[in-house]
Chain A
Amino acid sequence: MLSKEELEIVILSLKVALASVIFSVPLAVACAWVLARCTFPGKTLFDAAVHLPLVLPPVVIGYFLLVMFGKKGWIGSTLDAWFGITFAFRWTGAALAAGVMGFPLMVRAIRLAIEAVPLRLEWAARTLGASRWRVFFTVTFPLAIPGLAVGVLLAFARSLGEFGATITFVSNIPGETQTLPLAIYNLTQSPGADAAILKLCIVSIVLSVAALAASEWINRRVHRVEGGMIA
């Protein structure tokens, strides 16, 4: 079975992925709603900005994060001074990097789900006296939950595998920022660690497959309950 160190790595990885997803969700839902339901000048630019982490090299993202959220970065220093939140070389930084990298996936899934909610259903709600906010929380959002679940699990799986941005931004510190992929990378640098690598690889695969299976399960369950009403 797993050694104490290995177990720590797994728990840290799960913690980082979970935190990244939890803090991404509200922002991702907001972005997805704006992209699905609003038209404004510069929307294409906004869309592109949201999708950047998908197409840029992760190292570039990691570097940007380092510049902005590092100890001397303009956002990082402000957060540190005002709230005592630091990202640099901390597990929170790893979560931030993972969150940024998984963000486009999450937004995409939620956006598709929101677009699948008939606009006329929202009209009906408004003629019944519901404000835009109430329409969102009582009609649009509940109907988009299957898509949200898929987006969350995709982003979670993506976070578990995050490597490039993380190692650039918060380095590879055992017990603090060394998630599974970083630990595996570390082991590949030392000779005779084949068995340990294999073990961590298997753990990685199991976690990823479990996340995917969970997303499938939620998807099917929701569709069964609601009788495929989104079709």
Chain B
Amino acid sequence: MIDIDISKRFSAQTEVSAKFVSDASVLALFGRSGSGKTTVVNAMAGLVKADRGYIRIDGVTLFDSERGINVAVEQRGIGYVFQDGLLFPHLNVRQNLIYGARRSGGQGGADAPGVPFDQVVDFLGIGALLARDTPSLSGGEKQRIAIGRALLSRPRLLLMDEPIASLDSGRRSEILRLIERVRDEFGVRIVYVSHSIGEVSRLADDVVLMNDGKVIACAATEEIFNRADLRPYTGRFEGGALIEAHAVRHDMKYFLTTFKFDGGELIAPGVDTPVGARVRIRIRARDVTLATERPHGLSIRNILEGTVSVIDNRGGAIAEVHVQLGGPSGSLARELLARISTQALDEMQLKTGQPVYALIKAIAFDKRSMGFTA
């Protein structure tokens, strides 16, 4: 359980205050750059001292201004993976990895399960790098080692501040997958800072949405990204719907995987996940096309039936249409979002309550945008 209520003033204009409670195994702090996310994680790590408030992790008070508690950074038992890795340049890979391994007992040490060195090295696939000097490593390798170094210090909580922001896209999905496995195989609670909807919707169970130094909302990931009132903060262009689904079959001939969710079925390029595995799929509003009749002769694989529930037309070129999929309305997760031109909206004469077909290309979502939960 993470229980935080802090504020920190930097100048007359800028103040960061955050209050939230979450028991998620991955909690994301999401918001634009400068929204105060990093200040919050730095305060959790003890690198920044809040002016007032408290920080409690799993019942242990790390900071409490009223009771005069401020546990030293090194005694908090909180691991931290920074955006730029911050490996020690004068130590080789092995020395970097074991730097934190001798964290003395007590906080986060004694009660945390021991993490064998070899297991972490195997897990990260860095056996061949152990004797290498760190400045010669690639960005992805550095981040792997930074994660391993943090894991070996046996933290009770792992903070990750934009850990893949400075990597190229290939390395990004690789490290993201690794972080999912850290969560599943090491059972470490993670606080993940990012401004990327893709990363957050893939990894997080709960999201703390921050803007301008304040917490706008703290809720389950699906709710944050599907709630209409939060759209100004979650971003319009990148906006979309988040759907919980599970894999039902693989098509070996065409390398496609079919996923089933409340509102129907989705076909996507094949992913190597077992049948039955739960998957979170984000369908971006700009990838959704609408039709008033069931179309024929199209390459589009996914044709979902639904009804128009909300039309958000603010003038200009683009309107957003919410489509309630499948049966009766209710669950937010069953709603799709489509960005279409206002011209199309007028020509199609769309109205609330009208039946429509939502079309999504199979290749609109690939495994990079999917989050797997074990």
Residues of A within 8 A of B (CB): 118, 120-121, 123-131, 138-139, 142-143, 226-230
B136 and A127 form a contact (CB under 8 A): no
B372 at the interface (CB under 8 A from A): no
Partner of A128, one of B90, B99, B135, B136: B99
CB distance from B189 to the nearest CB of A (A): 15
Give the tally of cross-chain contacts (CB within 8 A).
76
B231 at the interface (CB under 8 A from A): no
B355 at the interface (CB under 8 A from A): no
List the 3 closest pairs (A to B, CB-CB), nearest first: A128-B100, A129-B103, A229-B89
B86 at the interface (CB under 8 A from A): yes
Using an 8 Å CB-CB cutoff, how does the interface string of B69-80 with A read, 1 for contact, 0 for none? 000111111111
CB distance from A173 to the nearest CB of B (A): 45
Q: How far is the CA of A230 from the CA of B102 in the complex (A)?
A: 26
Please give, as numbers and ranges, the residues of chain B lying within 8 Å of A138 by CB-CB distance.
Answer: 88, 99
B90 and A227 form a contact (CB under 8 A): no
CB distance from B44 to the nearest CB of A (A): 10
Using an 8 Å CB-CB cutoff, how does the interface string of B24-63 with A read, 1 for contact, 0 for none? 0000000000000000000001110000000000000000
B150 at the interface (CB under 8 A from A): yes
A229 and B99 form a contact (CB under 8 A): no
CB distance from B133 to the nearest CB of A (A): 7
Known: A142-B90, A226-B90. A127 touches B45 (CB 8 A): yes
B153 at the interface (CB under 8 A from A): yes
Size range of the chain B interface in the assembly = 20 to 34
Can you report 29 A-B residue pairs in the complex whose CB atoms are below 8 A from each other? Answer: A118-B86, A120-B82, A120-B86, A123-B45, A123-B47, A123-B73, A123-B86, A125-B88, A125-B99, A126-B46, A126-B74, A127-B80, A127-B100, A127-B159, A128-B74, A128-B100, A128-B153, A129-B75, A129-B100, A130-B99, A131-B74, A138-B88, A139-B88, A142-B90, A226-B133, A227-B135, A229-B90, A229-B135, A230-B89
A128 and B149 form a contact (CB under 8 A): yes
Q: How far is the CA of A139 from the CA of B86 in the complex (A)?
A: 12
Please give, as numbers and ranges, the residues of chain B lying within 8 Å of A131 by CB-CB distance.
Answer: 72, 74
A129 and B90 form a contact (CB under 8 A): no
Q: How far is the CA of A229 from the CA of B45 in the complex (A)?
A: 26
Q: How far is the CA of A30 from the CA of B104 in the complex (A)?
A: 27
Please give, as numbers and ranges, the residues of chain A lying within 8 Å of B153 by CB-CB distance.
Answer: 127-129
Q: How far is the CA of A120 from the CA of B82 in the complex (A)?
A: 9
Please give, as numbers and ranges, the residues of chain B lying within 8 Å of A227 by CB-CB distance.
Answer: 89, 133, 135-136
Q: How far is the CA of A130 from the CA of B91 in the complex (A)?
A: 15
CB distance from B10 to the nearest CB of A (A): 16
Please give, as numbers and ranges, the residues of chain A lying within 8 Å of B90 by CB-CB distance.
Answer: 139, 142-143, 226, 229
A226 and B88 form a contact (CB under 8 A): no
CB distance from A132 to the nearest CB of B (A): 8
A126 and B73 form a contact (CB under 8 A): yes
A127 and B78 form a contact (CB under 8 A): yes
Q: How far is the CA of A227 from the CA of B100 in the complex (A)?
A: 24
Please give, as numbers and ranges, the residues of chain B lying within 8 Å of A143 by CB-CB distance.
Answer: 89-90
Q: How far is the CA of A143 from the CA of B86 in the complex (A)?
A: 14
Interface residues of B in 95-143 (CB under 8 A from A): 99-100, 102-104, 109, 133, 135-136
CB distance from B357 to the nearest CB of A (A): 52
A121 and B88 form a contact (CB under 8 A): yes
Q: How far is the CA of A128 from the CA of B159 in the complex (A)?
A: 12
Q: How far is the CA of A125 from the CA of B45 in the complex (A)?
A: 12
Please give, as numbers and ranges, the residues of chain A lying within 8 Å of B80 by CB-CB distance.
Answer: 123-124, 127
Please give, as numbers and ranges, the residues of chain B lying within 8 Å of A120 by CB-CB distance.
Answer: 82, 86
CB distance from B91 to the nearest CB of A (A): 8
A145 (CB) vs chain B CBs: closest residue: B90
Q: How far is the CA of A131 from the CA of B72 in the complex (A)?
A: 9
B103 and A128 form a contact (CB under 8 A): yes
Q: How far is the CA of A121 from the CA of B150 in the complex (A)?
A: 14
Q: How far is the CA of A129 from the CA of B150 in the complex (A)?
A: 10
Please give, as numbers and ranges, the residues of chain A lying within 8 Å of B88 by CB-CB distance.
Answer: 121, 124-125, 138-139
Q: How far is the CA of A228 from the CA of B103 in the complex (A)?
A: 29
Please give, as numbers and ranges, the residues of chain A lying within 8 Å of B103 by CB-CB distance.
Answer: 128-129
